[in-house]
Copies of this chain bind each other. A is one copy, B any other.
Amino acid sequence: MSEQTVSEQTLTPEQVEAMIRRGPFHQWLGIKVLEIGEGEIVIKATWREEWVVNPDRQYTHGGILATLVDLTADWALVSKTGRGVPTIDMRVDYHRAAMPGDLTARGKLVKWGSQYSVAEANVFDKDGALVASGRGVYLTAQPKAK
């Protein structure tokens, strides 16, 4: 089944979750796909003690939040790409300390392009507060045929 065929079908959250969880780091992050739409995705990451950066105050490392911005924005494109795509660059704004608990991230396409595309993501703590947000630019050119 070609990528074009996949991307023209409607992918279910279960299908996308299975694709994402092929990646060992995504498994380690306990990624679940809650919702999937046209240029949109909602994922959840399962808190683990290793995420903590500050042992006194117990908040999560900014690198975990950056990872969630990148992967959520990337997979917000899956209805068009049918796969995860390479990140060209990424930017994250940190809004407040992320205390222990699962994190939810909402990703949304900003602009689709046949060569590169822009998507954004917001990351929320278990109480729904915005802890980080950002954007990535993704290489959406079709890989060259071999």
Interface locus among A10-18, A34-42, A82-90: A82-90
**A49 proximity list for chain B (CB < 8 A):** 24
Stoichiometry (number of copies): 4
- Tell me whether A25 and B63 are in contact (CB under 8 A): yes
A87 to B96, CA, bound (A): 10
Question: Which residue of the partner chain B has the closest CB to A51?
Answer: B25
A92 to B71, CA, bound (A): 14
**A22 proximity list for chain B (CB < 8 A):** 54-55
- Tell me whether B137 and A93 are in contact (CB under 8 A): yes
Q: Check A6 for interface membership: any CB of B closer than 8 A.
A: no
Q: Check A99 for interface membership: any CB of B closer than 8 A.
A: no
**From B27, B63, B91, contact of A89 by CB (8 A):** B91
For chain A, residues 35 to 71, give those with C-beta under 8 angstroms from any C-beta of chain B: 49-55, 60-64, 66-68, 70-71
- Tell me whether A63 and B64 are in contact (CB under 8 A): yes
**A70 proximity list for chain B (CB < 8 A):** 62-63, 66
**A94 proximity list for chain B (CB < 8 A):** 86-90
